[in-house]
C-alpha cells in the first residue's frame, strides 16, 4: 500500500506532483483545522503544514504512523522538535526556498525607509512637495550587522555586495564562516560598528526578546533596525522607546510580537507604532513571493526524496 501524506495548509501543486512521483498518496486539505487533523492523522505517514497550528505533543501522540513532517517555510518554532526526535519523526523545512525572497525584501524595506519613500509618496498624493523633509540616507559606506548567518543572512549579504557596504555577521552557533560577502565578528563588534542591524535568527528561548531596551542601549551609533525573522525576537516597545531617544533612526518590521488582526490592534504599543513615521510595517511577507511559493514546495519534495534514499 502507498504511504500517505496529509497536507493541511496551502502548498504549490508541484509538491503533490513530486511526492506522488515518489509513490506517495497525497490528501490535500488546506482548510483542515487542528481538530480535523487530529481526527484522521493516525492514518498518515506524513504531514505537511505551514504555521496553521502548533504541532505539539497532542499532535504527535495522535499520529501513530507518522514518519515525517514537511514544514513549508524556514522556521520550526511551531513544531515541538525535541518530542519529534523522541518519536523518531523526521522534520523537513525549506529555508532554501525563500532565502532570495527574504534577502530582496530586506533591501527593499531598507531603501524605502532610508529614503522616506512611503511618506514622500503619501505627501505628493496629498498635494505636498517637501524635498528637504524627505532627504534620505545612502547605503554606501554603511556597516550592516547581520545576526544569524544561515540561509537568510547569507542571502542578504550576497545581495548587499553591490552597494559598497561593509557587512559583518554574528552567529552564536557557527564559527569560521567569513566569506567574500561578510566578515565573522563578535556581538561586541556588531554593537560597536553597525549602522544597520538585520535579524535572521530562529525563535527560541535564547532569542526571544533578544532585542530589548538593554540590548539597544549598548549600540554605539544610531541604527536602522530590520526584523524579518520572528516577531518575538524584537520587543516592540523597546524599539519605539529607542526611536524616541534617537538610538534607532528607523525600523523595518515585517514581523510583530503579535500578528493578524484584531489581535495586533489590541496591543498597547500598536497605536504608537502605527503613528510613527520612522517605522515601516509589512504583514509577514518577506519570504512570500510567487517564486518562493513554488521553490519551497520543490525543496521539501527533494528533501523527502533524499529521506527515502537514506532510509
- Specify if 300 maps to a domain: no
Kindly state whether residues 17 and 145 are assigned to the same domain.
Answer: no
Kindly state whether residues 80 and 148 are assigned to the same domain.
Answer: no
So what's the pLDDT on residue 125?
Answer: 98
Kindly state whether residues 119 and 38 are assigned to the same domain.
Answer: no
Question: From CA 258, how far away is CA 237, in angstroms rounded?
Answer: 12
Kindly state whether residues 89 and 102 are assigned to the same domain.
Answer: no
The counts of H helices and E strands in the chain are 12, 12
So what's the pLDDT on residue 308?
Answer: 83
Kindly state whether residues 195 and 128 are assigned to the same domain.
Answer: yes
Which range of residues forms the domain containing residue 147?
98-281
| Last-in-domain residue among 93, 125, 151 | 93
CA dihedral 264, 266, 268, 271 (to 10 degrees): 70
User: Is 17 marked active-site?
Assistant: no
So what's the pLDDT on residue 69?
Answer: 98
So what's the pLDDT on residue 182?
Answer: 98
User: Is 259 marked active-site?
Assistant: yes
Asked if residues 285 and 254 have their Cβ atoms less than 8 Å apart, the reply is yes
| Last-in-domain residue among 53, 78, 93 | 93
Kindly state whether residues 237 and 154 are assigned to the same domain.
Answer: yes
So what's the pLDDT on residue 309?
Answer: 83
- Specify if 297 maps to a domain: no
User: Is 137 marked active-site?
Assistant: no
CA end-to-end span of the chain: 18
* Set 67, 71, 105, 230: catalytic member: 230
Kindly state whether residues 115 and 222 are assigned to the same domain.
Answer: yes
CATH number assigned to the domain comprising residue 28: 3.40.50.720
* Set 284, 294, 298, 302: catalytic member: 284
Kindly state whether residues 249 and 133 are assigned to the same domain.
Answer: yes
Kindly state whether residues 86 and 110 are assigned to the same domain.
Answer: no
- Specify if 112 maps to a domain: yes
So what's the pLDDT on residue 137?
Answer: 97
So what's the pLDDT on residue 310?
Answer: 81
Backbone angles phi, psi at 236, to 5 degrees: -60, -45
* Set 259, 272, 298, 302: catalytic member: 259
Kindly state whether residues 83 and 39 are assigned to the same domain.
Answer: yes
Name the stretches of the chain with pLDDT < 70.
Answer: none
Kindly state whether residues 106 and 212 are assigned to the same domain.
Answer: yes
Question: From CA 181, how far away is CA 183, in angstroms rounded?
Answer: 7
Q: How many structural domains are present in the chain?
A: 2
Cell numbers that stand for 16 in this block: 503533490
Place of cell 514546495: 297
Amino acid at each position: 500500500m502507498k504511504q500517505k501524506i496529509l497536507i493541511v495548509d496551502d502548498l504549490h501543486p508541484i509538491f503533490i506532483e513530486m511526492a506522488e512521483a515518489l509513490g506517495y498518496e497525497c490528501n490535500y486539505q488546506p482548510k483542515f483545522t487542528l481538530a480535523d487533523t487530529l481526527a484522521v492523522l493516525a492514518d498518515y505517514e506524513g504531514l505537511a503544514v505551514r504555521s496553521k497550528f502548533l504541532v505539539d505533543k497532542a499532535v504527535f501522540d495522535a499520529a501513530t504512523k507518522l514518519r515525517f513532517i514537511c514544514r513549508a517555510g524556514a522556521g520550526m518554532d511551531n513544531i515541538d522538535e525535541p518530542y519529534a526526535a523522541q518519536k523518531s519523526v523526521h522534520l523537513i523545512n525549506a529555508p532554501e526556498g525563500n532565502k532570495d525572497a527574504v534577502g530582496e525584501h530586506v533591501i527593499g524595506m531598507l531603501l524605502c525607509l532610508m529614503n522616506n519613500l512611503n511618506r514622500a509618496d503619501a505627501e505628493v498624493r496629498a498635494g505636498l512637495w517637501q524635498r528637504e523633509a524627505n532627504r534620505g540616507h545612502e547605503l554606501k559606506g554603511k556597516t550592516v550587522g547581520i545576526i544569524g548567518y544561515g540561509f537568510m543572512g547569507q542571502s542578504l549579504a550576497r545581495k548587499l555586495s553591490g552597494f559598497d557596504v561593509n557587512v559583518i555577521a554574528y552567529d552564536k552557533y557557527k564559527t569560521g564562516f567569513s566569506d567574500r560577502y561578510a566578515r565573522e565578528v563578535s556581538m561586541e563588534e556588531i554593537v560597536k560598528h553597525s549602522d544597520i542591524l538585520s535579524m535572521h535568527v530562529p525563535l527560541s528561548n535564547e532569542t526571544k526578546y533578544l532585542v530589548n531596551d538593554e540590548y539597544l542601549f549598548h549600540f554605539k551609533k544610531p541604527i536602522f533596525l530590520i526584523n524579518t525573522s520572528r516577531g518575538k525576537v524584537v520587543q516592540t516597545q523597546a524599539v519605539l522607546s529607542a526611536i524616541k531617544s534617537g538610538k534607532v533612526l528607523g525600523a523595518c518590521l515585517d514581523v510583530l510580537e503579535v500578528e493578524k488582526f484584531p489581535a495586533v490592534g489590541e496591543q498597547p504599543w500598536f497605536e504608537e507604532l502605527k503613528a510613527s513615521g520612522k517605522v515601516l510595517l509589512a504583514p509577514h511577507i518577506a519570504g512570500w513571493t510567487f517564486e518562493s511559493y513554488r521553490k519551497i514546495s520543490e525543496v521539501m519534495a527533494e528533501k523527502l526524496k533524499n529521506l527515502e534514499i537514506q532510509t
